[in-house]
Amino acid sequence: MKKIQLAEDLQFSQIVHGHWRLTEWNLSPEELLSLMERCIEAGITTFDHADIYGNYMCEELFGQALALKPSLRQEIQIVTKCGIKLISENRPEHTIKSYDTSKEHIISSAENSLKKMNTDFVDVLLIHRPDPFMDPAETAEAFHILRKEGKVRHFGVSNFTPKQMEMLQSKYNGPLVTNQIELSVLHEQPFFDGTLNHLQKEKVRPMAWSPLAGGRLFKGNDEKAVRVKKALEKVASETEATSIDEVAYAWLLMHPSQIMPIVGSGKMNRIEAAVNAANLPLTREQWFYILQESMGKEVD
């Protein structure tokens, strides 16, 4: 599988395995380890997490699996996120859903993630959501401390606008290596709102969450979902793709910004569809046909 260069000393697999639904997969640590190993065999070496996933439980489940084979840590890249505070029985001190990008919270969240995942470092730590109360200098200070201590190799953001990303970058003396954004054939706005333009300009590689629109691509009965599904079926027949999700992934992978889709399934056949998409050739006309059906009109 193609590797994406995020920094001089950091590469991700083009397809990322996302564990935000890990608690729903009902896998034992042994079964999760087996799934991780099968992902690695398929070329997927990057795994995406966040402290809040699974009601603050997913990182721990991942860590239990990794503890069964610690040597696997040298073969993979781990991404995790912090900055959102959920109301949860696992965080009884939280009285309201809020954001926290203070130095203290970022450092304590990162250290807690390391403990839960049974690792000495994470490859990339992301700020999960833009915080209207963010002090970029204080957030950057937390980054500097974690990097100096070797606990986090690189940093990035998630769901940030170009201006929000520029604000944080102005205070951090290292690169913000990615912006993890919502992007799919049913959510095409980042192609037009400046998000991808900014990332291409700065040579920052985007990660795409919900690349299949959270299942809406298959189950949605709204006009847009039905229209786009028909377009994907047409292109699938033209390219001999085995499934419409293969086409949906290929549509993202074809873009010159080097998008890295996050596959959030625990089923290997669904993961393999994303892997196969890397070898699915789409023409420029097919790409624009899918975009047209997503927009509901021709490009201007």
Angle between helices 58-67 and 103-116 (to 10 degrees): 40
Among candidate residues 53, 56, 172, 249, the one labeled active-site is 53
Angle between helices 195-202 and 162-169 (to 10 degrees): 40
Catalytic (active site) residue 53? yes
DSSP string for residues in 95-152: -S-EE---HHHHHHHHHHHHHHTT-S-EEEEEE-S--TT--HHHHHHHHHHHHHTTSE
Q: What angle do CA 182, 183, 186 make, to 5 degrees?
A: 115
The continuous run of DSSP H or E covering 230 comes out as: helix 223-239
Q: Which amino acid is at 96?
A: I
Closest CA to 224 of 178, 277, 187: 187
The whole-angstrom separation of Cα 259 and Cα 106 is 26
Q: Which residues are catalytic?
A: 53
